[in-house]
């Protein structure tokens, strides 16, 4: 497949858009942070801003996967196994978070919360309340999977970029720092208690948008180099075959 500079600029646009979607995902929930009781949370199914946030998460996942695919291609020649494993980790993140969000939209809000709110039968309301409250454990499990997958992807890409030339070495450092900043939240997810993550809550609404915007700008500026690098890595095996046949 021929990846032109236009493809990498498309990946850059996706990365820039993730800076905006990250802000929506992390900052917008403050608008309904006062919905603490069960009944208040049930009413969120009617909140257009809340539902918009859910759909933006789905868009965010798709944009992240596309941008990370484009970003990893230039490093394939130097670190193919690391890049492939890293992209699979990012794809796993995208799938898991898409699944988690889709359950929130279609099962939790459109079905369970709606039935609970509209039912007059106490037994039915109690049953659906149990459904909603029991999903918390499943949600935590999916969160752990997507958080782990994303952190693994950061580490793999960080290693791969550090092994590439100077154009990508700065990205490698950035990704390793990002992975380190993710560790406190990951540890909290493992132990099931908010211990260290509270001191790194700024990573989502501050560090991530700035970092994603910087990645988008970098990819846009280096789109021509990235296309040439991928083309060169793709042609190298063909040259070796032609030499052997000659």
Q: What one-character DSSP code corresponds to residue 206?
A: I
For 172, list phi and psi in degrees, rounded to 5.
-60, -45
Q: What is the pLDDT, as a whole number, of residue 240? A: 38
**The model scores a pTM over 0.85:** yes
Q: What is the pLDDT, as a whole number, of residue 193? A: 87
68: helix, coil or strand? helix
Q: What is the pLDDT, as a whole number, of residue 234? A: 65
Query: What contacts 182, CB < 8 A, 6 or more positions away?
Result: 147, 150, 151, 154, 203
Q: Walk along the chain (246 residues) in steps of 10 and give the mean pLDDT of each run.
A: 92 98 96 95 97 98 98 94 97 98 97 96 96 94 96 97 86 97 94 90 96 97 94 56 38
Q: What is the pLDDT, as a whole number, of residue 164? A: 84
> From the centroid of its chain, how far is CA 219?
18
Distance in angstroms (rounded) separating the CA atoms of residues 2 and 25: 34
Query: What contacts 59, CB < 8 A, 6 or more positions away?
Result: 21
Distance in angstroms (rounded) separating the CA atoms of residues 72 and 212: 14
């Amino acid at each position: 497949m021929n990846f032109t500079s236009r493809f990498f600029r498309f990946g850059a646009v996706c990365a820039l858009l993730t800076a905006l979607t990250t802000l929506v995902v992390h900052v917008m929930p403050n608008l309904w942070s006062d919905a603490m009781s069960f009944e208040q949370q049930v009413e969120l199914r009617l909140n257009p801003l809340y539902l918009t946030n859910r759909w933006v998460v789905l868009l965010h996942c798709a944009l992240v996967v596309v941008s990370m695919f484009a970003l990893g291609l230039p490093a394939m020649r130097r670190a193919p196994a690391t890049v492939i494993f890293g992209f699979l980790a990012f794809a796993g993140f995208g799938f898991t978070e898409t699944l988690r969000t889709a359950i929130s939209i279609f099962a939790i809000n459109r079905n369970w919360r709606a039935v609970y709110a509209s039912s007059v039968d106490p037994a039915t309301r109690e049953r659906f309340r149990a459904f909603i409250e029991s999903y918390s454990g499943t949600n935590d499990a999916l969160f752990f999977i997507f958080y782990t997958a994303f952190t693994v992807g950061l580490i793999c890409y960080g290693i791969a970029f550090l092994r590439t030339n100077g154009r990508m070495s700065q990205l490698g450092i950035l990704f390793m720092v990002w992975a380190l900043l993710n560790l406190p939240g990951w540890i909290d997810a493992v132990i099931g208690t908010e211990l260290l993550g509270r001191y790194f809550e700024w990573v989502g609404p501050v560090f991530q948008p700035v970092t994603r915007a910087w990645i988008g700008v970098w990819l846009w500026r280096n789109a021509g180099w990235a296309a040439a690098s991928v083309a060169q890595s793709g042609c190298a095996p063909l040259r070796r075959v032609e030499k052997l046949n000659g």
